[in-house]
Structure 1
Amino acid sequence: MTDMLDDDVTQAHVDLFSKFDPLIEMRRELLATGVTDPFGLVMERVVSPTVAICNGRETILLGTYNYMGMTFDPDVIEAGKQALDDFGSGTTGSRVLNGTYAGHKAVEQALCDFYAMDHAMVFSTGYQANLGIISTIAGKGDYIVLDIDSHASIWDGCKMGDAEVVPFKHNDIEAMEKRLRRIPEGAGKLVILEGVYSMLGDIAPLKEMIAVAKKYGAMVLVDEAHSMGFIGPNGRGVAEEQGCLDQVDFVIGTFSKSVGTVGGFCVSNHPKFEIMRLVCRPYVFTASLPPSVVATAATSVRKLMHAGEKRAHLWENSKTLHKGLKDAGFQLGTEVPQSAIISVIMPDLERGAAMWEALLHEGLYVNLARPPATPANMTLLRCSLCAEHSADQVQQIIGMFTRAGKATGIIG
């Protein structure tokens, strides 16, 4: 017995971090070029939804997903301050224990009113909303059919739930139908789609895809994280815009984009939906959102119901920037503007990082997106517009891109 233990002790040490060595080397090589770390930017002060102080200088923000600019709305901020005074800084508990305050019920009611749906369930993050809902409703013996470009939180929800996962080519209706046709008769089926895909900013043909899903008896979940608030007549997302929201079984969304705070949610009309509060592990075993956060979210959601002018201005910003960058000679992720996300395709990571840094020196912050998070191993500079960007700021942005593009050789 002693010999066996001695043998165990002398076994070779395995570094559990070795699997990350290629990424560590990629990062080392990138930083060795002298570029600022594009994944470690610190905002020293945030002045408004569109401006911050970065590296000691005023910088236009074009990579925050703050689509509707609600982070500095006076009513939203006042609601958060009042909740801090009335309820304190945190709940210290799960929703099913001591973690449900009046504000949690108020924000869920605001979501029901916003979407005109019967049920709403709020999570501590948007990631947890996907993780919780997907892993709970689709389990062993069920099938999930999903777009290959789905967000990481969707993939992780699939992995956690133990259902059979069947991906299909991005936005390919025919490929989706082929997958559905092969699923055994009588099996549970869930089709997962996104309204706006965050890497390229393209939208899904939801109306056609949902019709196919229903033909094969599948339930449908649509993640509207990047469309909620500004796409659709009432800001309910791409499903509303395409006239098929009533065919969607579950809408997932987040507070960290258009709502301007943090948290996630699911809304549904399913008559049995409330049982999710007892069986969904990422909901049951997580501390609930702080009172100040749900107060700001509820106030923001209700204001977004009446934000038609802001939605129209955001669309103008998107059209202007898309045309300006295209005319300057940049290769973009979509032929026409489809959302508030405009992705600029870079030749490779090294030159993408150089362009990112050149923009930062110009006074502009965007997101550098790299493989493997991006489709087709692309390197992208991802721009997310805000309804609070002025027309002058959009023109400034076009000028900054043009100068940085020429300086780095991305455009002629």
Structure 2
Amino acid sequence: MKQDGATSEDVRLGHNSGRKDLLSKFDALIAEREALLDTGVRDPFAIVMDQVLSPTEAVIRGKRTILLGTYNYMGMTFDPDVIAAGKQALDEFGSGTTGSRVLNGTYQGHKEVEEALKDFYGTEHAMVFSTGYQANLGMISTLAGKGDYIILDADSHASIYDGCWLGDAEIVRFRHNSVEDLDKRLGRLPAEAGKLVILEGVYSMLGDIAPLKEMVAVARKHGAMILVDEAHGMGFFGEHGRGVFEEAGVADDVDFVVGTFSKSVGTVGGFCVSNHPKFEVLRLVCRPYVFTASLPPSVVATAATSIRKLMHAGDKRAHLWKNSRRLHAGLKELGFTLGTQTAQSAIIAIILPDMETAVAMWQGLLEQGLYVNMARPPATPAGMFLLRCSLCAAHSDEQVGEILTMFETAGRATGCIG
């Protein structure tokens, strides 16, 4: 019943009815977004790709645009063999499984992609999840529960934090990439308690890498098990492209490696690989695995094909590193403030003083035909605004040159560089 003075919208939303609007906690964010859009800028978080032409180009609002914010590190999304495998699986197995892996949701392709992962990583076990987020959510919450301790980098990804909360373990944070702080905090914990140290090979906001050799040694000293997230390292770190942990030479000391198909593999899904002899029991007790529909046949087919091709992608890896070093050096020479002193990964972050400048710079690049990611808190550390570039092995030398020219033009127009 409509109350006096209340609009139909008020009644629909429960205003003036004594009910608390559960969305009111977001009012400040809504106001901030509306004020930003009122200035005439495009919404950085609502970009639509009208057409995707290749791993490095798309059409956005009718304009041919270079993609520098897609995590498509190895350029596998348009690989002919990968696409052919997906089409064949779609024809032979249909569009989806409509079930969990522990019920009707395990097809031949799901076992094949797990075999591909075992071959790629040289492990005894592999377990595939429907997303990379669920891989972290499932593994962490299942491994460490009430009474256990999870020790994690303060800058860890949201999926890692969510896995901690779902599992109800005690959370202990250490300063970002600080071996000394990790050692100190581990030393304060009960010796007999279960402990899981979670590290990331590459941190996705600034593109910096973890000192895994030293951190793994500290974790082992204190009797902790170790999980490394290689979402942003798989494909181009290490002799076989397994990740930062391989390059650091600690593969034999890491208990679990979590990763995703949505970066270098070029599709969607998540996984964990391990040599732990009891690993297979996790299929029966890991809730985000048991209670989620499995990946469609076409997705696991593309993933398996892509993973096997990444085992022989040395030329792609070399070109990606060449692109990263050239772009980092070029942006630094232009006068931009970058997240790392040198090119540590395929991610390059440009630090900007405030949100207004970040948005202006982002839009200036987009109008020239360059798409990058804009990031702000809470995705970034408090008070940090940045543009994040994700390079691809398929970016040509010419495209990297164009990208630097666009950054110079937008940087001067916005006053970011002199």
User: Is TM (by shorter chain) over 0.5?
Assistant: yes
How far apart are the structure 1 equivalents of 2:148 and 2:266?
35
- The residue number in structure 1 matching 2:186 is 180
Q: Secondary structure at the match of 2:204?
A: coil
Aligned-pair distance for 1:13?
A: 1.7
- The residue number in structure 2 matching 1:115 is 121
How far apart are the structure 2 equivalents of 1:109 and 1:183?
38
Aligned-pair distance for 1:372?
A: 1.3
| Structure 2 residue 358 is matched with structure 1 residue 374 | no
- The residue number in structure 1 matching 2:63 is 57
- The residue number in structure 2 matching 1:169 is 175
- The residue number in structure 2 matching 1:253 is 259
Aligned-pair distance for 1:28?
A: 1.4
How far apart are the structure 2 equivalents of 1:168 and 1:18?
33
Q: Deviations over 1:6-65 (max 9, x none)?
A: xxxx97221100111121122112112111000000000000000000010100000000
Q: Deviations over 1:204-262 (max 9, x none)?
A: 00000000000000000000000100111110000001111111100000000000000
- The residue number in structure 2 matching 1:283 is 289
Aligned-pair distance for 1:286?
A: 0.2
Residue pairs, 1:195-344, within 5 angstroms: 195-344=201-350
Counterpart residue identity of residue 408, structure 2 = T
- The residue number in structure 2 matching 1:355 is 361
How far apart are the structure 2 equivalents of 1:204 and 1:225?
13
Q: Deviations over 1:65-118 (max 9, x none)?
A: 000000000000000000000000000000000000000000000000000000
Q: Secondary structure at the match of 1:375?
A: coil
- The residue number in structure 2 matching 1:78 is 84
Q: Deviations over 1:171-224 (max 9, x none)?
A: 001111111011112100000000000000000000000000000000000000
Q: Deviations over 1:336-394 (max 9, x none)?
A: 00000000011111110011000000100000001111023210100000000001100
Q: Which moved more, 1:17-26 or 1:127-136?
A: 17-26
Extract structure 1 runs of 4+ deviating beyond 2 A: none
Q: Secondary structure at the match of 1:117?
A: coil
- The residue number in structure 2 matching 1:39 is 45
Q: Deviations over 1:295-316 (max 9, x none)?
A: 0000000000000000000000
Q: Which moved more, 1:335-344 or 1:374-383?
A: 374-383
Counterpart residue identity of residue 92, structure 1 = T
How far apart are the structure 1 equivalents of 2:35 and 2:72?
32
Counterpart residue identity of residue 387, structure 1 = A
How far apart are the structure 2 equivalents of 1:30 and 1:245?
47
| Structure 2 residue 139 is matched with structure 1 residue 157 | no
- The residue number in structure 2 matching 1:26 is 32
How far apart are the structure 2 equivalents of 1:330 and 1:261?
32
Q: Select 1:91's aligned residue among 72, 97, 101.
A: 97
- The residue number in structure 2 matching 1:5 is none
Q: Secondary structure at the match of 2:382?
A: helix
Counterpart residue identity of residue 245, structure 1 = A
- The residue number in structure 2 matching 1:411 is 417
- The residue number in structure 2 matching 1:387 is 393
How far apart are the structure 2 equivalents of 1:119 and 1:372?
35
Q: Deviations over 1:136-180 (max 9, x none)?
A: 010000000000000000000000000000001000011111110
How far apart are the structure 1 equivalents of 2:274 and 2:335?
44
How far apart are the structure 2 equivalents of 1:278 and 1:127?
19
Counterpart residue identity of residue 85, structure 2 = A
Question: Percent identity among equivalent residues?
Answer: 74
Counterpart residue identity of residue 210, structure 2 = A
**TM-score in terms of structure 2 length:** 0.96
Aligned-pair distance for 1:128?
A: 0.1
Q: Secondary structure at the match of 1:153?
A: helix
Counterpart residue identity of residue 48, structure 1 = S
Residue pairs, 1:115-154, within 5 angstroms: 115-154=121-160
How far apart are the structure 1 equivalents of 2:353 and 2:34?
19
Q: Secondary structure at the match of 1:377?
A: coil
The RMSD of aligned alpha carbons is 0.8
Q: How many residues align?
A: 403
Counterpart residue identity of residue 304, structure 1 = L
- The residue number in structure 2 matching 1:6 is none
How far apart are the structure 2 equivalents of 1:241 and 1:363?
35
How far apart are the structure 2 equivalents of 1:301 and 1:377?
38
